[in-house]
Structures are given as structure tokens and as C-alpha cells.
Chain A
Amino acid sequence: MQPIEIIVIAAAVLFVALVTIGAIVRRKKGKSSCGCDCSSCGGCSACKERKEKKS
């Protein structure tokens, strides 16, 4: 296996893991889990409260 192959596989695994963990952490913090920043949405704090209540 060439070094570039190892680098590509490692980078892909790391990226997938980071995005997945990031989404879980965001969700636990009560932020949007879709990856969007919904701070400008009229119902933003409602989503947050709802998630906090559930957790």
C-alpha cells in the first residue's frame, strides 16, 4: 500500500468521524443537528428549549 493510500483512508475516516461526532455534540448542546446555523430562525430558542427538556 502506498503512503498516499494510507493518508487518503486515514483522512476519510477522520473526516467522517469528526463530522459525525460534531453532529452528536451539537445535538446534545441543543443546536441544530442538520448542520445549519439556525440562530437567525424565529423558532431557534424553541428548538433549543425543546431539546434541553428532552435531555
Chain B
Amino acid sequence: MKKFALAGNPNCGKTTLFNALTGSTAYVGNWPGVTVDKREGTYKRCPEPVSVVDLPGIYSLSPYTPEEVISRNFILDERPDCVINIVDATNLERNLYLTTQLMEIDVPLVIALNMMDAVEKNGDAIDAKALEKKMGVPVVEISALKGKGIAELMDRAYRASEKARRGETVLRDSPLAHLIRDVTIALEGQKVSAPLFHAVKLSETDEIEVKMHPELVRMVEEFKATFSDDTFGTDFEAIVADARYRYISQNFSSVLTKKDAERGKLTKSDRIDRVLTHRIWGIPIFLVILFAVFHLTFSEDFLYLGAIFRLPSLEELGLMTADGEYINFGAQFAAVFYDGAVYSPGVMLTNLLSLALDSVSALAAGWLSSSPAWVSGFLVDGCLGGLFAVLGFLPQILLLFLFFSVLEDTGYMARVAFILDRIFRKFGLSGRAFMPMIMGFGCSLPAMINTRTLADEKERTATIRVIPFFSCGAKLPILTAIAGAIIYQLGAGNADVITYSMYLLGMATAIVTVILMRSTTMRGDVPPFIMELPAYHLPQFRGLMIHLWDKLKHFVKKAFTIILVSTILVWFLSHFNWAWGYLDDEQMNESILASVGMLLQPLFTPLGFGSQLTQYGWIFAVAAINGLIAKENVVSTFGTIAACLGFALMDGMDEGVAEAVSMMQATGITVPALIAFIAFNMTTIPCFAAVATAKAELPKGKFKWTLLFWLVTSYIVASMIYVIGSWWWTAFLYAAAFAVAIALIVLWNKRRPVSHKVNRGEEAE
């Protein structure tokens, strides 16, 4: 089977084209660096099936990060039958830099001028035929997003792959032409493949090439000794780059016709950027947008209409009795949308699902009414209770994910990385580190893998360590369930504020720990941050739906496998003693689970959910440990055990929240301890899968320290919240402790020099 490689600059549409060619649903994001590894698919419309390989984006073939090494090695070592170079037509000159390098390799090459629809929309024009003539390789106009020109592209790529192509360089007239020719001849003598490409790279004294051909370095050094450029001296890499850009500018600017009226004017994206990336207002705007997202997802008082206009409750309207019973189904259905306040879309959807799940539970309980008590208890309270406590949050998880996807697809998240760079830099990270962190809001696994785009090893390690603090979708049920319980306990407040605050707490913890790491064990300069800001565009409905479908599929699959297995085990372990005797609900404190939980309980005493709780306090310890398998298990543990506690679950409450309230009543846990419980679960060791990924991605010797880092951080953060929340004056003691710690760090740093280490592909393995 023929193999075609898709190569191009970051964010030029390679993965969009890959999806269009292969029918895949690979993750596409409107920011550079989404794809960090190659992936394969099959295109079936050529005379024979063709394997298509989507490569990570690269600006040049001089790689600095692991994913750039992957692209370079694939093109050079795997020898694809054709390289399809995707060029962002809205940014022709910069994209052609890589093209001039690809042309030097002995491989058939086809240029795909992508985003031609955007070029036409801007009123600009590109003469593809003239470009083809100048480049000497086929050029095809396409729009990967709209599926235009794809058949022609593959047809020309297939024809190009039929015959061999010899590399050509645009450096024929450069000052290094002689050197390149001599080295090429020497490499041809050694039967090296793609000798021209290697010769150019060797002339630049490229690190990888120097290692590969040490015998030819002398030839370059001798040439260097007799050569000096007026501008660049003997910096051959700069001389080559300058020669390439000169060539591009002289030859290819003529194929681009800009709309006269637009010359020198600000584009729409530039005008929006003036507001959204404002030096002062940029960050407050981001925080407001983030709050709006949480308000739309979690608020039980949409736009605070209920508080402003003092809207009547269902009870005041006569639709609900004082005992909390609805007068009819219509009233119960109305409660999905309103009760003294209009609910936000996220809460409405959750209420709707809870109504359906309650009906299923009631139906199952009815069917099993004649069966033995333990069977009914196991299936309805145990399995369904645990499962539904988690599934109930699915609408809010999906909605939050949808909002983040919209922000990302529009190009706004890339701007956030830009505006945060100024702050992150002060803390020892570049803005580039923000993108994996944002991915961490969805799932820590891809986020940790995405840190490969960070060139500095220390920055990468620090970023991997703090990614779990950016609450992933699996932690959302914990946040929402406990937030609901806190509001119930306080009799006031709004879930959106609590959830938003906990997300901010996660970010603040990340910032503080990064400062600590970067000023102690991981000192070093912050690498420069250069990121191309993508143009703003409306999110693609299809793309958003694919994202949501993926999320839904993963969540439901996880719920009916790992989470259901955990609920079954939790129920059995909580209803059997060490002698394998069955225990009734009231005897649960004698169970295997209770004895293990009680053993661990004292460890959590400084965090507020340890030995100070009443007889069922062990449940919090068990839930926290169970959360290490999958974070959803925290709430599913509550769900499985809540029905057995003898406290009637509150009517009208969402799945999960009612169980958390029941847990609160049974154990007498305080509000500061509940917040500490959330904080602990947010910042402690993440799920098994994330731990395995961290182990693989972290440099050698860092993993054990990372586990310890997560444990210590979560313990300190949660205990601080509990202690300060319970005894406010202790805040002064913590402040004093911090002041001492800062002083010690300053003194420590004075004695230690800063070391540097760059994360290269070979070292990342």
C-alpha cells in the first residue's frame, strides 16, 4: 500500500484534511500544537488504497521538540511515497519556508494550498498555476474544512508518487552554494539518501546531522574558516534562513494579490484582539467569560433573576406542598426548569435527566419488590444508585465541554495563552504551557502528552505535575455534588460560584506550586514563547458535535464498566464482614470496607474528614481512595452507600447531590471539611490512567517525586482550607509560615547556580 504523509506548519489544517480523507474523527483544535504524534488512516478513492499519515505540525525541519523530531524522522526515514505539504494560504510566505526544505528531500511532493475559501473571503487571490511553475511541484487549491479540491489533490499526489523525484534547493544562489554542493557530492559518495537535504543541514551545523556525519564536519569547519558574511558572520543557520526567506519574498510574493482596500488595514481578528488581548483588560475579560461558562452550566438562578425580582417558589405558587411533594406530574416537570428562580441550561438538563433516572430507579424497585431485600438493595441502591449518582452529571459535563470547545474553536483559547504568558512568565512557565493545562479541563491524559510541545524539560515536568490541578471532567461530579450539599447546609449560595471558585483554587494551587518548583528544584530561565495566533472563526457545528459525541461515548462506556464494577465491589465489601457473613444496612460499620476505611480515617483528621466524624466517617476515606481508580468513583461510592444509611434521600434534589447531603447528615461533616474534601480530590494523585501517562511522559527519576508532590500538595491545601475555615485566625499562622518559606527559598537560591536542560526527542524516550 502506498503511504502519503501530511506535513505542514502547526494549525494549517493537516488533521482536518486527514479526517476528510480517512473519515476519522481525530481531535482538531484551533491552536498550534494539537497533534503531537503521527496517526494513520486509509484513503480509498485512489486506484489503490493509500495509507495517509498525519504528522505533528512543524515550522522547519530543524526540530526542537519531540513531536517535531517525529515529523522529521518520518519523512526522512520512513520514505513515504509522497509528501503532501499543506500550506496555509492565508499565510503563504511563512508556510513556504518549510516547503523550501521539503523540496530538498528526494521524495515526491505536492503542495495543498489550504484555506483557499478564507483567502477568497478576504478578497485576496493566489495564482496557483504560477506558484506551481515557480516551485516545480504540483500545487492544488483546497479547503479541507469544506471538502473542496480534495479529490484533485489525491489524484495529483497519486500521479506524483508514480515517479521518483530528486531534491532541489532554493539556495543555488546563496553564499553557501559551493559548500552545499561539495558536501552533497561527498554524501552521494557515501550512498546517503536525500544527500542534498543532509548537505544543507550539515552546512547549517544542525545538531542531529553533525552526530550522523561527524567525518564531514571538518569540511564545513574548513569552509567556515575562510568565510564571513557581512550581516551574519559565520552563523550558517542564519545565512541559510535568510537566503530562503529572500527567495520566497522575491519569487512568491508575486503570486499573491491582496485586496487593495485592505492593505494596511486591521483585519477583523486584529480588531477583536485589541479588546480580548488587551494588556490590562485581557485577564479580567477571560475571568468573566470563564464565570459566564460556569454560570450557564451550574447556576440555579439564571442571570440572578430570582434574587433580583424575588420570584415566587413552587410552594408559594401552590404547586408543591410544605412537605416537598409536587401536586401533580406537571408541577414536578415545571420544577425541572424553575423553583423560585429560572435554572441555567445546564441545571435544566441535569434536572431532566435526574427525573428520568429517578423513574428508572422507581420502576426497578417496583419490579424487585417481591425479591429478597438484599437483591433489591444491591441492584437498586447499590448498582443503580452508584451509577446514576455519576450519570446524573452527564449534561453538565457535556455542556461545560461544549463551551470550552467553542472557546477553543473560535481561536480564543490561543489568545488566553498569549495574555497569560505575561503572568506565567513571572511564575516560571511560558504561555505555551497553558494549552496543555486547558486540555486538562477535559482529561489529564492527552494534556500530559501534549506537553511534548514544550522544549524545556523543567518546564515540561512542572506542567505535567500541575495538570491534574485543572479539574477534569471526571472531577466535576465531586464538585457539583458537594457544592449542592454545601448550599443545602448553608441555606444560601449558588453552585456556579462554588464550582467556579474551586476551579480557580485549582489554578491558584498550580501557580503557587509552579513558583515553588521553579524557584527551588527546577530553577531555570523561562523559554521564549512564540505562538502564532489563529484567525477567529465561527466554530464548526460538525466538529463540536464530534467532540461531544466522543465525550459522551467515553463517559457512558466508563460508567458501565469501571464505575459499575466499583459500585458492585463497594456494595459487596460494605455488606460483608471478614468472615464473609452478610450484613444488613444497619450493620455496615462492621463490614470489610468499614474496617479498611476506619484504618485510613485518622490520616484525614487534619483535613476535616477523618476521626472527628461520627460512625460513618470512614466513607469519606473510602471514597477518596476509590477515586484513585477513577475520580467518578468518589460520588458513585456516596451513591452506593447513601441509601443504606437510614437517612431518606431528599426529594427534588439532583442525583449525586441528594447522596452527598445524606452523607453529610450521617457523618456530621462541616462545610470547611467538605470544601477540604473537594480540594483534596482535585489536587491529589489523579486516576490510574493519568498516573501511568505521567510515568511515561516524565523524565527519568521524576515519577516518584511527582507522586509525593501530588500527595503533599493535596494534604497541605486541604488541611489549610479546613483549618482556616474552622479557625479563621490560623490564617495568620499560615501567612507567617509562608513568609519563612519564602525567606528560606531566597537564601537557598543565592547559593545555587541555574542549570539548563532542553527536552529533545531522543531524550524524551
Query: A residues near B, CB below 8 A?
Result: 2, 4-5, 8, 12, 15-16, 19-20, 22-23, 32-47, 50
Contacts and interface: CB of A to CB of B under 8 A. Distances in A.
Given A34-B562, A34-B687, A35-B557, A43 B379 contact: no
Contacts of A23: 561-562
B133 interface: no
A4 B378 CA distance: 12
B375 A4 contact: yes
B112 to A, nearest CB: 20
A45 B41 CA distance: 12
Contact of B371 (A4, A20, A40): A4
Interface string B434-469: 000000000101100110100000000000000000
Residue of A15, A41, A50 with most partner-chain B CB within 10 A? A41
Interface string B562-587: 10110011001000000000000000
A36 B557 contact: yes
Contact of B34 (A5, A16, A42): A42
Given A15-B568, A42-B37, A47 B693 contact: yes
A8 B374 CA distance: 10
Contacts of A37: 550, 553-554, 557
Interface in B342-384: 371-372, 374-375, 378-379
A55 to B, nearest CB: 13
The size class of the interface chain B forms with chain A is 35 or more
B688 to A, nearest CB: 7
B445 A38 contact: yes
A38 B36 contact: no
A33 B689 contact: yes
Given A35-B562, A40-B26, A40-B27, A46 B371 contact: no
B688 A42 contact: no
A19 B553 contact: no
B38 interface: yes
B372 A4 contact: yes
B565 A15 contact: yes
Contacts of B371: 2, 4
**4 cross-chain pairs, A with B, having the tightest CB-CB distances, nearest first:** A43-B449, A34-B689, A46-B37, A36-B554
B558 interface: yes
A34 B569 contact: no
B696 interface: yes
B508 interface: no
Given A5-B375, A46-B449, A19 B565 contact: yes
Interface of B: 24-27, 34-40, 56, 371-372, 374-375, 378-379, 443, 445-446, 449-450, 452, 546, 550, 553-554, 557-558, 561-562, 564-565, 568-569, 572, 630, 687-689, 692-693, 696
B445 A34 contact: yes
A51 to B, nearest CB: 9
A34 B568 contact: no
Contacts of A34: 445, 558, 562, 630, 687-689
Give the one of A4, A43, A46 with max B CB within 10 A.
Answer: A43
Contact of A45 (B37, B561, B572, B696): B37
Contact of A35 (B56, B379, B443, B558): B558
A41 to B, nearest CB: 5
Given A4-B371, A45-B40, 15 more contacts: A5-B375, A8-B379, A12-B568, A19-B561, A22-B561, A33-B688, A35-B557, A35-B561, A35-B630, A39-B26, A42-B26, A42-B39, A42-B446, A42-B449, A43-B36
Contacts of B565: 15-16, 19-20
Contacts of A50: 696
A39 B546 CA distance: 13
Contacts of B452: 43
Contact of B39 (A2, A32, A33, A45): A45
